[in-house]
Amino acid sequence: MRNLKVLLLAAGLMFTLSPAASAHAELVKSFPVANAKLTKSPRFVQLEFAEAIVTLKSKNANSIVLLDAKANEVTTSKISIRQGVARVDLIGTLKPGKYMVKYRIVSADGHVLSANFRFTLS
């Protein structure tokens, strides 16, 4: 009986502590949204994360890159970061087609989040 209580207590602690241990920055909002079908060229790409983003001296620590359907990089401004929001402004307007947003972000807890999503402009 005592072993069962210890086992249940250990299992309870594991479930209680797990969310805090796995809490890293995650993308909570984006513009454009993933898989969006836009009819007007966006003026910027903005990513909002669940926690603050760290700005480091390394120029490559945080990045947002926009690629067209042929994997050519679209010209954007330098990345700007404020709290948990990262943004780049587009230089010019996009032509109709498929686009991919690739990003790499260092969160306040030091973890790196790299991912991508697509959107279409018609």
Q: What is the pLDDT of residues 47-69, one digit of tens each?
A: 999 999 988 776 678 999 999 99
Residue 30 lies in a domain: yes
3-state class (DSSP) for residue 40: coil
Residue 13 lies in a domain: no
CATH code of residue 80: 2.60.40.1220
Residue 103 lies in a domain: yes
Q: What is the pLDDT of residues 65-88, one digit of tens each?
A: 999 999 999 999 999 999 999 999
Contacts with 80 (C-beta within 8 Å, 6 or more apart), sequence order: 86, 87, 88
Residue 85 lies in a domain: yes
DSSP 24-46: ---EEEEESPTT-EESS--SEEE
Residue 75 lies in a domain: yes
Residue 71 lies in a domain: yes
Helices (H), 2-122: 2-21
Total of domains in the chain = 1
Print the domain residue range for 84. Answer: 24-121
